[in-house]
Amino acid sequence: MTIKEVCEKYNLKPDTLRYYERVGVIPEVTRTGGGIRDYQEEDIKWVEIAVCMRDAGVPIEMLIEYVKLFKQGDETFEARANLLKEARARIVEARKKYDTALERLDYKISRYELAMKTGVLTWE
């Protein structure tokens, strides 16, 4: 796939994809003989991981560390698992904050919906 096709598929800007490769969020992408990026299945898998993790709020630095560990081989299984556990814990914590905010919004919405029916706004 071309960089344009990958960007369209994952709703990314070419600069973002190039940046991910440059800083190590994804490993170096397969290139044609002329040096043009030619995303293969393995490259796409890395893009999918990066997009998923970034959408979940995982920091760039954590993704860079994960790719570095991956490149070091099987002896880094434990370190990679620990990194993913840390990323998961961050996501769970962020989700708790969103859940609390949603509960508060739902409460306020219910009060306004009741006020629209009764003409009275209460905060009970």
Residues 66-78: what's their mean pLDDT?
A: 96
Tokens 């190590």 locate to 24
pLDDT of residue 124: 62
pLDDT of residue 120: 92
Sign (positive/negative) of CA torsion 41, 19, 67, 8? negative
Q: What are the two backbone dihedrals, phi and then psi, of residue 31, each rounded to the nearest 5 degrees?
A: -125, 155
The residue ranges of every structural domain in the chain are 3-118
Q: Phi-psi region for residue 120, left (φ > 0), alpha (ψ -120 to 50) or beta? A: beta
| 90, amino acid identity | R
CATH number of 3-118: 1.10.1660.10
Mean model confidence pLDDT for the chain: 94
Q: What is the DSSP letter of 73?
A: -
pLDDT band, very low/low/confident/very high, at 117 (cuts 50, 70, 90): very high
Whole-angstrom distance, CA of residue 105 vs CA of residue 61: 33
pLDDT of residue 57: 87
pLDDT of residue 63: 95
